Amino acid sequence: MKHVISPLDLSMEELDRVLSLAERIFKNPEKYSECCHGKKLATLFYEPSTRTRLSFEAAMLNLGGSVLGFSSADSSSAAKGESVSDTIRVVSSYADICAMRHPKEGAPFVASLHSSIPVINAGDGGHNHPTQTLTDLFTLKILKGHLDHLTIGFCGDLKFGRTVHSLINAMVRYPGSRFILISPDELRIPTYLREEVLSANNIPYCEVKVLEEVMPKLDILYMTRVQKERFFNEEDYIRLKDSFILDAAKMKYAREDMLVLHPLPRVNEIAAEVDDDPRAVYFTQAKLGVYVRMALIMILLNISAEL
């Protein structure tokens, strides 16, 4: 049985399988509408979510399965002090697969050690968010047509943004990836990523503080929200929250074929006027997330795509 805790839990071959199945589902969703009949997905969300939880649930419903779960720690026995390992032991007998989001890094991994059903990490603290990464890769595959030789600018909260950490880990496996990391000093990517992932693999990257000057070099601009919930004090958050605001004036520096991605939710970091720019694809990205989650659920449940 396979769990997906980090994007690296999927080999390149498995990743290709997920992305190509997602593409087939995207092109012909009706064909897959009964694939998971009789199967149940549990969504165990100890932290707020809109897209991730609802797209997981929509994915399972689109496959003809059912969903159960909770959307906050307060409404589960976590509020009474139950551990994730006890919760997952019990949920394993109620559902066939589970997606877990937790504020503590490593919680879905701990759950996987005690689970008899596949556990998918739906975001653990500032650590990883593999299904957002699958969504991001699928968006690039559909809209750019390839995942190699891309220069990606990550902008905003690169310290706490788990979507950034996961996507960097995934993209270094594609040839020709280059990274431009745009953040204030306090929100630089964690040292382990810089040293053990980027430098150790000789991946070209640079760190800058001004967005406009690097815009013309980018194939992809990946904007992120400053992660308020991970700050230790509000003063720092207030000082840093509007470090970067992408607006129509800044988009003028970008290439015609640059794409703007954002995992959402957006706060102030992208002005609403950018939404009408055809290069702004974050709402399409959110939509595509359902198809990769459908593909991932099918593959983890060993359901044949040829049904």
Residue 162 lies near ligand NCD (rule: CB under 6 A): yes
Residues contacting residue 163 through CB under 8 Å, at least 6 positions apart: 129, 132, 133, 136, 224, 263
Q: Which is nearer to ligand NCD, 52 or 139 (CB)?
A: 52
CB nearer ligand NCD, residue 204 or residue 265: 265
Of 205 and 282, nearer to ligand NCD (C-beta) is 282
Task: For residues 180 and 31, give the distance between their C-alpha atoms in angstroms, rounded to a whole number.
Answer: 40
Total chain residues near ligand NCD (CB under 6 A): 11
Of the pair 52, 92, the CB lying nearest ligand NCD is at: 52
The least CB distance from residue 112 to ligand NCD, in Å, is 19
Distance of closest approach, residue 286 Cβ to ligand NCD, in angstroms:
7
Please, what is the minimum distance in Å from the beta carbon of residue 200 to ligand NCD? Answer: 25
> How many distinct helices (H) and strands (E) make up the chain?
11, 9
Any alpha helices (H) in the chain, and if so which ranges? 12-27, 51-62, 84-91, 107-113, 130-144, 162-171, 191-192, 211-214, 234-240, 248-251, 282-300
**Min separation Cβ 300 and ligand NCD, Å:** 19
**Beta carbon of residue 161, minimum distance to ligand NCD (angstroms, whole number):** 6
For the CB of residue 101, give the shortest distance to ligand NCD in the complex, in Å.
Answer: 7
* Alpha carbon distances (Å) from 137 to 18, 59, 143, 203, 288: 10, 17, 10, 18, 10
Q: Which of residues 128-157 bind ligand NCD (CB under 6 A)?
A: 129, 132
Nearest to 204 by CA among 217, 187, 222, 186: 217
| C-beta of 162 vs 241, nearer to ligand NCD | 162
Provide the 3-class DSSP secondary structure of residue 153. Answer: strand
For tokens 């399988």, name the residue. 17
- Is there a contact between 4 and 300 (Cβ–Cβ < 8 Å)? yes
The angle at the Cα of 58, spanning 140 to 223, to the nearest 5 degrees, equals: 35
Q: Is 161 exposed, middle or buried (0-12, 13-18, 19+ CB in 10 A)?
A: buried
SS (H, E, C) 292-304: HHHHHHHHHCCCC
- Given CA atoms 158, 279, 270, 123 in this order, what sign does their dihedral have? negative
Contacts with ligand NCD in 255-284 (CB under 6 A)?
263-265
In the set 6, 87, 163, 177, which binds ligand NCD (CB under 6 A)? Answer: 163
Question: Catalytic residues, which ones?
Answer: 51-52, 80, 101, 129
- CB of 16 or CB of 275, closer to ligand NCD: 275
According to CB under 6 A, which residues from 23 to 52 bind ligand NCD? 51-52
Residue 123 binding ligand NCD, by CB under 6 A = yes
Per rule CB under 6 A, is residue 53 in the interface with ligand NCD?
Answer: no
Q: Which residues bind ligand NCD (CB under 6 A)?
A: 51-52, 123, 129, 132, 162-163, 225, 263-265
